[in-house]
Amino acid sequence: MNSYAYNCKFCSKPGIVKADPLGLEMFTLEKWLPKIACNRCGAFMDLKFKITQELNRMCRVLQTDSKVKRGDEKIKAKLVILTKRYSQVACDYYRLTNVWEEQFAEMIFDHPGELYTILNTYLQQLAREARKATTASV
Ligand SMILES: [Zn+2]
């Protein structure tokens, strides 16, 4: 086993990864090391991916099922649960107080085709707040 230094591809935190150099033969190190994420980011990306998939399923139902009425309370209730989980996971990651607003679920309900834009905007907002919080405490 050899140790290799890397920077997390998401938060650029430095870390060390142990790997068998023989197992790395098929990869070139310069290509492989920039793709590594630290545990914290890896766990977040994994959860985020799972919740996003579920949200996406709900959005597809909203977009395609003609029997679903726009005011369907069941779908709205699911979106509330999923967006709450999403904001919990994201706020934990950015070390922020959980700031879920009903508007978050409503926006997705009203614009299911823009799910990814809505989620990205939300994450960008959190990242900005997290940056502000770090500069304020220094
Ligand atoms: Zn990281």
Do 58 and 29 share a structural domain? no
Note down pLDDT in tens along the chain; length 138 residues: 888 899 999 999 999 988 877 766 656 777 778 888 999 999 999 999 999 999 999 999 888 866 666 557 888 999 999 999 999 999 999 999 988 999 999 999 999 999 999 999 999 999 999 988 877 655
Q: Judge if 68 and 132 occupy the same domain.
A: yes
Whether 115 and 133 map to the same domain: the answer is yes
pLDDT at 2: 84
One domain for residues 105 and 123: yes
Are residues 18 and 68 located together in one domain of the fold? no
Is the domain of 12 the same as that of 60? no
* Total count of domains within the chain: 2
User: Residue 1 Cα, ligand 1 centroid: separation in angstroms?
Assistant: 23
Residues 24 and 45 in one domain: no
Indicate whether this model's pTM tops 0.75. Answer: yes
Distance (Å, rounded) from C-alpha 51 to C-alpha 76? 15
Q: In terms of DSSP H, where are the helices of the chain?
A: 29-32, 39-64, 73-93, 102-110, 115-137
Domain match, 69 and 126 both: yes
- Cβ atoms of 119 and 86 within 8 Å: the answer is yes
Do 45 and 112 reside in the same domain of the chain? yes
Q: How far is the CA of 2 from the centre of ligand 1 (A)?
A: 21
Alpha-carbon span 120 to 41, nearest angstrom: 16
* 75 alpha carbon – ligand 1 mean position (Å): 34
CA distance 1 to 5: 13
Determine the pLDDT at residue 26.
56
Distance 35 CA to ligand 1 centre (A): 11
Distance 137 CA to ligand 1 centre (A): 21
Q: Which pLDDT does position 98 carry in this prediction?
A: 87
Same domain, 25 and 43: no
Full residue range of the structural domain in which residue 120 is found: 39-137
Token pair in block for residue 47: 């959860």
State how far the Cα of 97 lies from the Cα of 68, in Å rounded to an integer.
35
Q: What is the pLDDT of residue 35?
A: 86
How far apart are alpha carbons 37 and 57 in whole angstroms? 27
